[in-house]
A and B are shown apart, each in its own frame.
Chain A
Amino acid sequence: MNPDDLEKHLRSQPMRQVPPQWRTDILSAARQASPSEHAPRTTQHVPRSPSLFSTLLWPHPTAWAGLAAIWLLILGFNLATGPSAPLVAKRASPTAPQVLMAFQEQERLLSELLGPRETPVAERPKPAQPRPRSELRHRLLMA
């Protein structure tokens, strides 16, 4: 038997075809697993130009929106009642000369109550008498 003939015959044996229904299942599984399939899902949640501000605010958007609304209300209320407040403050606040005069008056009264200022003069410390260093030695010698 010629081995080449057998090899040729073996090569000519047709292999079974892949079952056609596998194609749909396998490609479907592959599409689900592909990263591009997941990409649109993530971009729905992530802003296209993520900044630090949006990143910080993103976890609780409703809460942040509510807080912003409250601040807007406060700002609106403040603006609505705003013009009278500075006037009241202007009326209530004394002018600078008045404040200075009041301050000088208070200082005068205080000085009257306390009397004239006396600056205590500290006594100078007496200069210590230098002891003879050899006093003890001298006594010992004399003894």
Chain B
Amino acid sequence: MSAPLDVERLYDEHAQALFAFLLNFTRHEADTRDLLQELFVKLAKRPELLDGVRDERAFLLRLAHNLAIDLIRRRGTRDKHYEQLAGDSIAVFVPAHEPDEGAFRKALSTALGELPPDQRAVVHLKLWEGLTFEQIAELLGIPLNTAASRYRYGLDKLRERLRPLYDEIK
């Protein structure tokens, strides 16, 4: 028998991280909202999913990733322009007050959108969730080496794309 689920606590502690991951992964705000709601509804329906879970954040991120993959697969058959949407510039970061920093964030957001989704997921989890490659590999269900190489390829692309802007800011 599982303990009653405290959905509010889960939301307050993890919604921000889940939102950022889903927004970066889907590059679509409405989809992010739908997925976030789907995730919490799923947890509310089946609170036993959290039984024995040691790292709530990692578990919820994995759940979010799986839901997002399902959504992309569903879309893939009938919505061919979904990948194009990912390339569009979407505000993933907080708008900056300084113009240079604002331009950098905008370029970073665009560059992230140009990464393949699997690289983008690894880069996000490494940079903005601070997970280790081992944790990322477990979360995404991929080998450790794959997680590391995806990060390296992704970061190389970002570096190449952002170098001029970064040199100006520095």
Residues of chain A whose beta carbon lies under 8 Å from any beta carbon of chain B: 1, 3, 5-7, 9-11, 13-19, 22-23, 25-27, 29-31, 33-36
Contacts and interface: CB of A to CB of B under 8 A. Distances in A.
A34 B7 CA distance: 10
Interface stretch (B62-70, B74-82, B87-95, B139-147): B87-95
Interface residues of B, number: 38
Contacts of A26: 11, 15, 33, 36-37, 40
A22 B45 CA distance: 19
Nearest to A23: B11
Contacts of B15: 18, 22-23, 26
Interface in B23-48: 23-24, 33, 36-37, 40-41, 43-45, 47
Given A31-B44, A34-B44, A34-B45, A15 B128 contact: yes
Closest 5 CB pairs of A and B: A18-B19, A15-B20, A30-B44, A34-B44, A30-B40
Interface of B: 4-5, 7-8, 11, 15-16, 19-20, 23-24, 33, 36-37, 40-41, 43-45, 47, 91-94, 105, 108, 127-128, 130, 155, 158-159, 162-163, 166-167, 169-170
A118 to B, nearest CB: 89
Contacts of A33: 41, 44-45
A15 B93 contact: yes
Contacts of B163: 1
Given A3-B155, A34-B45, A22 B36 contact: yes
Determine which residue in A6, A15, A23, A31 has the highest number of CB atoms from chain B within 10 A of its CB, and name it.
Answer: A15
Given A11-B127, A36-B4, A6 B159 contact: yes
A73 B79 CA distance: 72
A53 to B, nearest CB: 29
